[in-house]
Structure 1
Amino acid sequence: MGDNTEVFRGIRKVPGISYPVLTPNLKGFESALEAGAEEVAVFGAASDAFSLKNVNCTAAEAIERFRPVLKAAQKHGGIRVRGYVSTVVGCPYEGAISPLAVVKVVEALHKMGCYEISLGDTIGVGTPGSMRRMLDEVVKAVPPENLAVHCHDTYGQALSNILVSLDYGIRVVDASVSGLGGCPYARGASGNAATEDVIYMLHGLGLETGVQLEKLIGVGRYICSQLGRPSESKVNRTWKGATTS
């Protein structure tokens, strides 16, 4: 990769690419700092039941754990902190989630200093209707430029929900190459929206992403071949021009 890269715990860093580290508490932050992280992430939930299963504390208790992380990040040269909120429209234990419950967590993360908060439909039950109801309230509390969406595709609604978020001025979308991943707390929950499909849609809307779709498809095919599993991306399955080289 040339001389403009540096090694970060085995990862050869490329200029212009962010390498955030998930840090649920101060101990995690200190370990990330020691490893050379320049950006970290904290993750909460709009559902108490989900939070208890995931990190063994309520949503409010999780917020309190984040405060020392944000303070430490500011103390150590202003390390950027991204916030995540899980189950923003539905929870496998509580069912439908009130938009005001989401606002409470998002607003707290924003006030603590998270530069961006990702809104996660963790189990992929959201629809354009439930996304709109949630975003109607959230954008009253936090500007769209400080928000991102993280849509799982369990019911095939991820692209539709992302499209809705664009109407609200949100321009950051979390995605996973070939839709890899999932949620261990929800039976049948698939991975995040496939990056290939998201990029194809955004390019079709005339939006500039800086991503070369054909090379991305090649990456997805290579990873899936190594894992011995098919790609979850419809674009990847259909595309004829990409190779795994």
Structure 2
Amino acid sequence: MRLPQVEAATGLPPEVTIYEVGPRDGLQNEKAVVPASVKVEFVRRLVAAGLSTIETTSFVPARWVPQMGDAEEVLEALGADGVGRARPALVPNLRGLERAEALGLQAVAVFGSATETFAQKNLNRSVGEQYAMFEPVVTRAKDAGRWVRAYVSMCFGDPWEGPVPVGQVVDVAERLMGMGCDQLSIGDTIGVGTTGHVHRLLEALDARGIGPERVAVHFHDTYGQALANTMAALRDGVTVVDAAAGGLGGCPYAKSATGNLATEDLVWALTGAGVRTGVDLDALVATSVWMAQQLGRPSPSNVVRALTPPPTP
């Protein structure tokens, strides 16, 4: 069975935009550096499979995240297919933005933290100090007509601090969105969120003027809750979902963070519910099988495993 039986579900949007993070968030934690040529082919295969929005790379210093040290090489090889508004890249600071500007990128993302400990580990700054780093980035990008996304990590729990109060997350989100960002991605970095928690956070964001039309959700699947949490968010009005082909992912600064929600698992669920994604599931599965071969291990995606025949003994 290559596609699910379609039985339209109530309460879901008619169409969902998948924000594919495989090439950046999916690969950033790989121990062995993936060649730039493989990353370029990965992006091209994702485009061919119908993924309209793909986060391609990160302009962080190579000493921080060695896997992303080839950002210029990857984007130069992609050419026009790597710089439009549907090809955002992560920029940590003004230097990162300058590197992105030199290549003509039209969309960028900043990556903040809802908790003090992770802000220190990931940014070497406090939560309060992160705003001073991001504000000139956002202002300069917006003044130049670029689209800007704000990530907030550790929104549902922190491995060092434990539970994270909803109000604390909303305070950080409000500061970042107040800078002029176009979209907010709320991240369950260690995958501990549950559906009720998702609803409460979205409700609290909406009450502060950050409605679901400006919010994306980004769930890791550590406890197997990523898809359930995503469907809960969609029923609350969210229409943008972060996912990684093959369930790739992790976080170099949070060892308990496992893979992202697999794009294939999301597409299967949405297709069966009658929600449009524009993604060719067979082509996407083939892409994840190919990438798994490049990485030397099987894909953790349930749908990839189900649709891929086992190797002949």
What is the TM-score of this pair, normalised by structure 2?
A: 0.72
The whole-number CA distance in structure 2 between the counterparts of 1:114 and 1:205 is 31
Structure 2 match to 1:123: 190
The whole-number CA distance in structure 1 between the counterparts of 2:302 and 2:116 is 35
Say whether residues 1:134 and 2:178 are aligned partners: no
The aligned amino acid for 1:227 is L
Shift of 1:113: 1.0
More strand by percentage: 1
Shift of 1:181: 1.3
The whole-number CA distance in structure 2 between the counterparts of 1:236 and 1:17 is 29
Q: 1:75 to 1:136 in 2, by over 3 A?
A: closer
Gaps (5+ residues) in structure 1? 2-6
The aligned amino acid for 1:132 is H
The Cα offsets for residues 190-211 of structure 1, whole Å up to 9 and x where unpaired, read as 1110000011111111110111
Structure 2 match to 1:44: 112
The Cα offsets for residues 44-65 of structure 1, whole Å up to 9 and x where unpaired, read as 0111111111111112211221
The aligned amino acid for 2:97 is F
The whole-number CA distance in structure 1 between the counterparts of 2:137 and 2:161 is 28
Aligned residue among 276, 282, 296 for 1:214: 282
CA contact (8 A) 1:150 1:175 kept: yes
Deviates more, 1:189-198 or 1:133-142: 133-142
CA contact (8 A) 1:92 1:185 kept: no
SS at match of 1:91: coil
Shift of 1:119: 0.4
Say whether residues 1:143 and 2:203 are aligned partners: no
Say whether residues 1:64 and 2:132 are aligned partners: yes
Aligned residue among 273, 276, 280 for 1:205: 273
Q: Any runs of at least 4 consecutive aligned residues in structure 1 with deviations exceeding 6 A, and if so which?
A: none
How do 1:1-245 and structure 2 match up within 5 A?
A: 8-14=75-81, 18-76=86-144, 78-141=145-208, 142-240=210-308
The whole-number CA distance in structure 1 between the counterparts of 2:285 and 2:190 is 25
SS at match of 2:150: strand
The aligned amino acid for 1:199 is V
What is the TM-score of this pair, normalised by structure 1?
A: 0.91
CA contact (8 A) 1:99 1:138 kept: no
Gaps (5+ residues) in structure 2? 1-43, 45-73
Q: Which has the bigger relative contact order, CA under 8 A and spacing at least 6?
A: 2
Q: 1:68 to 1:186 in 2, by over 3 A?
A: closer
Task: State the superposition RMSD in angstroms.
Answer: 1.8
Structure 2 match to 1:4: none
CA contact (8 A) 1:85 1:118 kept: yes
